[in-house]
Amino acid sequence: MLETLIHNGVIVTVDDAFSVLPRGALAIRDGGIVNVWMPAAGETLPQARETIDAGGALVMPGLVNAHTHLPMSLFRGMADDLALHQWLQERILPAEQAHITPKSVALGAELSCAEMVLGGVTTCCDGYFLVDHFAGAVARVGMRAILGQGVIDFPAPGVPDPTLNVTAAREVVGRWQSGTPLVQPAIFCHAPYTCSAATLQAGKAAADELGLLFQIHVAETRQEREDWMGRHGQSPIAYLDGLGVLDGRTLLVHAVWADAADVAIVARTGARVVHCPQSNMKLAGGVAPVPDYLAAGVTVALGTDGCASNNDLSMWGEMDSAAKLHKVHRGDPTVMDAATVVGMATVQGARALGLDHLIGSLTPGKRADLIVLKTAQPHLTPLYHPASHLVYAARAADVNHVMVDGRWIVRDQRLLTIDLDDLMDRANRFARKIAVSAPT
Ligand SMILES: CSC[C@H]1O[C@@H](n2cnc3c(O)ncnc32)[C@H](O)[C@@H]1O
Ligand SMILES: [Zn+2]
């Protein structure tokens, strides 16, 4: 017997092509998708424990937010309108030194996950410190996640001795207990300018031995690139290539200041790129050469970055920004069409994380990570092209139901897994402590 049958939906599979099944049906058993089809007129639908008439709503794969810093929701709106260097060195790192604890990371992560799942994100890929202290909170909310333990050559929360940073990351992975296979660890070396060559190679070696994803911020600002050219005579991406840390299990976050040679390196090594357009705009980092990466065959995912540089975790805003930013930058409205951008937020995101055998499209054999959007609303009426609405008109508040691994975690816009009011109370109480010590 099927667990769930959804029918009469506009099903956007985001499979090989951008396929749409108007009045389509989707069947779920044991948490997996077993069939996606267009029932013939008068066809008798299979029995299921739960049958949902989508009533013409859009049904699509859950969104993949490929770059977050979950605990940073507690710093939302604390340090706006600054360039990256000042934002990080003068505001964010001191706030992290003062306020990041095992308890606060769990609180911030839970808040971020709640925001994301209510907005249709079913998978995220994170990088922060003390990740083992918030894996349980992520699991409680019910989403799928890869949590990269941060590695940096400075004292960091939970790792006061930087000489032990990679050792500590290995220990975090060794004692990993998220309580669910949906939440897995990774290694996140912060950036080439905060990790020595030895740290980067040791971090990548640990990730390889443990079979994990290796993540890094790179080439985020013009200053980073210019400093690197001055100090090393090569770009940050060429430098990482020289260290041998680029391959198909490496996620390059931002990769904004990349020339044609850098794009060719990324394509040759198979490293993946996470594009964070809103964070790059807000911190005035620059515009990543995403059309060039795509033309070179690089897998490009989309991410929001953390809440202190965005300042929300909406992949709808991120899709809209990604589509428009490159059009104005290139002076060409045909670049980054809507279907391409939906792909980046779903199947390409899954591919970047090495999860495309499991998620990213509504394909029989994959896990049932999906969302249902409420389309009977003025701003989504009429509906000609689903991709257009998903990128240029839909927003997080349109997400009605969310399923992860066959389990509903949001129904009728209500989060089923945790007490949201209690969570927001706890976050507000925490913020009162921050407000007295942080500059505004
Ligand atoms: C190990 S990653 C966590 C570390 O990264 C900081 N961070 C957040 N966003 C950015 C960014 O866009 N560039 C560089 N560093 C960033 C965060 O505050 C943590 O300290
Ligand atoms: Zn980041």
CATH number of domain containing 204: 3.20.20.140
**Whether 262 and 162 share a structural domain:** yes
Give 273-337 as a 3 state SS string. EEECHHHHHHCCCCCCCHHHHHHCCCCEEECCCCHHHCCCCCHHHHHHHHHHHHHHHHCCCCCCC
Residues 335 and 193 in one domain: yes
pLDDT, residue 434, reads 82
Q: How many structural domains comprise the chain?
A: 2
The residue nearest atom 3 of ligand 1, judged by CA position, is 128
Ligand nearest to the CA of 190: 1
Say which DSSP state 181 is in: T
* Residue with tokens 């790192």, as numbered in its chain: 93
CB neighbour list of residue 28: distance below 8 Å, 6 or more residues apart: 2, 3, 4, 5, 6, 34, 48, 368, 403, 406
- The number of CA neighbours under 13 Å toward the Cβ of 313 is 35
**HSE value, Cβ hemisphere, 13 Å, CA-based, for 359:** 30
H/E element, 99: helix 93-99
* CATH of residue 409: 2.30.40.10
Return the H-helix or E-strand segment holding 206. helix 197-210
Task: Based on the fold, state whether residues 33 and 76 are members of the same structural domain.
Answer: no
Ligand closest to Cα of 285 equals 1
| 67 among annotated binding-site residues | yes
Closest CA to 266 of 242, 296, 224, 291: 296
Q: Which whole-number Å values give the CA distances from 276 to 28, 173, 255, 302, 322, in the listed order?
A: 33, 27, 9, 6, 8
- Same domain for 305 and 380? no
Tokens of 121: 């994100």
Angstrom distance (rounded) from CA 358 to CA 85? 38
- Domain check: are 231 and 211 in the same one? yes
- Its domain, for residue 167, covers 63-352
Residue 437's pLDDT is 53
User: Of 319, 352, 385, which marks where a domain is finished?
Assistant: 352
Q: Are residues 241 and 375 in the same domain?
A: no
Provide long-range contacts, Cβ within 8 A and 24+ apart, for 206-210: 206/166, 206/169, 206/170, 206/173, 207/249, 208/249, 210/170, 210/173, 210/185
Q: What is the ipTM of this complex?
A: 0.99
Residue 428 falls inside a structural domain: no
Residue 367 DSSP symbol:
B
Taking only Cα atoms into account, the Rg of the chain, rounded to an integer number of angstroms, comes to 21
Atom of ligand 1 lying closest to residue 128 CA: 3
Establish if 9 belongs to a structural domain: yes
Q: Which residue out of 88, 149, 281, 282 has the highest number of ligand 1 atoms within 8 Å of its CB and is therefore the one to mutate?
A: 88
438 domain-assigned: no
Q: Give the span between the Cα atoms of 282 and 413, in whole angstroms.
A: 29
**pLDDT of 101:** 96
User: Is 361 among the domain residues?
Assistant: no
| One domain for residues 102 and 112 | yes
Angle at CA of residue 250, ends 244 and 252, nearest 5°: 105
Mutate to test the pocket of ligand 1, among 80, 217, 276 (most ligand atoms within 8 A of CB): 217
Same domain assignment for residues 118 and 98:
yes
Question: Which atom of ligand 1 has the smallest separation from the CA of 253?
Answer: 12
Ligand 1 atom 5, closest CA: 190
Residues 245, 345 within the same domain: yes
How many CA atoms lie less than 13 Å away from 431 in the CB half-sphere? Answer: 17
User: Nearest 5°: phi and psi at 230?
Assistant: -65, -45
- Whether residue 186 sits in one domain with residue 124: yes
Query: Apex CA 357: angle with CA 323 and CA 176, to 5°?
Result: 100
Query: Is residue 278 one of the residues assigned to a domain?
Result: yes
Evaluate whether residue 378 is within a structural domain: yes
CB atoms within 10 A of CB 141: 26
Residues in Cβ contact with 321 at an 8 Å cutoff, skipping those fewer than 6 apart: 277, 278, 281
For ligand 2, the distance from its centroid to the CA atom of residue 207, given in whole angstroms, is 19
**Tens-binned pLDDT, residue by residue, of the chain (440 aa):** 999 999 999 999 998 778 999 999 999 999 999 999 999 999 999 999 999 999 999 999 999 999 999 999 999 999 999 999 999 999 999 999 999 999 999 999 999 999 999 999 999 999 999 999 999 999 999 999 999 999 999 999 999 999 999 999 999 999 999 999 999 999 999 999 999 999 999 999 999 999 999 999 999 999 999 999 999 999 999 999 999 999 999 999 999 999 999 999 999 999 999 999 999 999 999 999 999 999 999 999 999 999 999 999 999 999 999 999 999 999 999 999 999 999 999 999 999 999 999 999 999 999 999 999 999 999 999 999 999 999 999 999 999 999 999 999 999 999 999 999 999 999 999 999 886 555 54
- Of 187, 206, 197, residue with least CA distance to 244: 197
197, 333: one domain: yes
How far apart are alpha carbons 107 and 109 in whole angstroms? 5
Residue 305 counted as an annotated binding residue: yes
With beta carbons less than 8 A apart as the criterion, state whether 384 and 358 touch.
Answer: no
Structure tokens at 392: 């240029």
Q: Are 215 and 148 in contact (CB under 8 A)?
A: yes
Q: Is residue 359 part of a domain?
A: no
**Up-side HSE of residue 374: CA atoms within 13 Å toward CB?**
15
- Ligand 1 pocket check for 400: Cβ under 6 Å: no
In a domain, 439, yes or no: no
Do 56 and 68 have their domain in common? Answer: no
